[in-house]
Amino acid sequence: MRRISRMRAAAALLLLVGAGAALAQTCTSSTPDDAPTARYQTNGDGTVTDTQTGLMWARCALGQTWDAGNSTCTGTPTSTTWKGALQAVQKVDQGSGYAGHTDWRLPNLRELMSIVRYHCYDPAINETIFPATASGSYWSSTPLGASPGLEWAIDFSSGQASYHGYSATYAVRLVRAGAFFH
């Protein structure tokens, strides 16, 4: 019992000390880079094209704004339900679009997994290409097989895929073009 109490106290102290510190991405060098910067062509308009898959990605999550002068995303990602994510993408396309395109969509699970950097965490994504990515889950358009009401998401804290009910709220990243995964 005493050992568990000491471990809990030490963990609580670490949480308190670390609470004020900003989290920084951690990567291991023993594993090859899954999504190196050279794989992406930056388009100068807040989008990148993945030269391996042919997919064009918005560099910022929905709710954030691309700051070209500082090459970063500002603001907070919109957190929405899965149905809200589909509606938000539709709203972008029916409006003026994004970066001159009106054919954006919610990525499927394989597409979203293609931008995960599995040798990194907090976040598990290329921060040069996708700056200010919140460590947390992002919706995919992929349902969980024969289980109605469950959809796949990627947690960019760890790069892990998991499924969630429609009422969960997560971030959204836009993708377009590319028939690589279809």
Residue 10 lies in a domain: no
Residue 143 lies in a domain: yes
Query: Is 70 exceeded by the pLDDT of residue 157?
Result: yes
Residue 15 lies in a domain: no
Residue 5 lies in a domain: no
Residue 1 lies in a domain: no
Residue 14 lies in a domain: no
pLDDT, one tens digit per residue, over 32-75 is 887 889 999 999 999 999 999 999 999 999 999 999 999 999 99
Residue 7 lies in a domain: no
Average pLDDT over residues 79-102: 96
pTM above 0.85, yes or no: no
108: its two tokens: 């499927």
- Count up the domains in the chain and report the number: 1
Residue 70: give the domain boundaries.
Answer: 24-176
Residue 178: its pLDDT value, please? 59
146: CATH: 3.10.100
Residue 171 lies in a domain: yes
